[in-house]
A = this chain, B = another copy of it.
Amino acid sequence: METRQRMLAAALRLFAERGFYGASMDQIARELDLTKQALIHHFGTKEKLYGAVLVAISERLMTEAIQPTEVESASAFADAVSRIYLRTLQHREDTLLLMRELLDNRRRAAQAGTWYLKPFLDGLADLLRRDPNWQEEDEGSIFTHVYQVLGAINYFAVSTATLENMYSVEHVEAMQECFPERLRKLAMAGVDT
């Protein structure tokens, strides 16, 4: 059991860092001081290992990201967004892998079982729907707003390493400091401005 968790952790790291094709079973196994056959023994195939990693991520996301008993307030959505932002930074590897999955998905898109994000998105949309400022808005508008805010978070979370090299560590730290406040303004961005 212990081993299985270690395997999932190592696989997450390498898949997140190098992508599905970029990471080989052998590399993952070596990271654990095992042979790739140990991995195959536990998960069958590379695809299934990858799937198990995705399942683990989505479980974490569901149990941690959205509290179902969200307090109903005018800023409920903005509050949830703040929490999601913090969580995204903490689980950067999850974020990286989900981003990669988003890119790769379009090929095997027809396959089922890949909508790990759907309940999450729906939950956020629900939160926004209950906001008095948003009750007159149509569905498309609500989902669009949710997605734009999520995009702002995830894109940044995935970019910090590049930004640090493009500018400097201090520059990125300055951005990180401003981020929550500006994110809040995005989340609140007016319905009737």
A9 an interface residue at 8 Å Cβ cutoff?
Answer: no
> How many copies altogether?
2
Bound-state Cα–Cα, A177 to B155, Å: 22
Q: Bound state CA distance, A114 and B159, in angstroms?
A: 13
- Whole-angstrom CA separation of A162 from B112 in the bound complex: 11
B17 touches A140 (CB 8 A): no
B158 and A102: CB pair below 8 A? yes
Q: Given that A99-B103, A162-B105 are known contacts, is A148 also in contact with B19, CB under 8 Å in the complex? A: no
Chain A contributes a number of interface residues (CB within 8 A of B) equal to 61
Which of A31-39, A69-77, A178-186 contacts its partner? A178-186
- CB-CB under 8 A from A178, the residues of chain B are 138, 140-141, 144
Q: Let me know if A139 and B174 touch, CB within 8 A.
A: yes
Contacts of A50 in B (CB 8 A): none
What does the 1/0 interface line of A91-129 toward B look like (CB < 8 Å)?
A: 000001001101111110110001101100100000000
Given contacts A103-B19, A103-B99, contact A156 B151 (CB under 8 A): yes
A150–chain B nearest beta-carbon distance, Å: 7
Q: Mind listing 27 A-B residue pairs with CB under 8 Å?
A: A17-B106, A19-B21, A19-B22, A21-B21, A96-B103, A99-B103, A102-B158, A102-B162, A103-B103, A110-B165, A114-B162, A118-B166, A138-B174, A140-B174, A140-B175, A140-B177, A141-B182, A143-B175, A144-B179, A147-B155, A147-B175, A148-B152, A150-B155, A151-B156, A152-B186, A185-B189, A190-B190
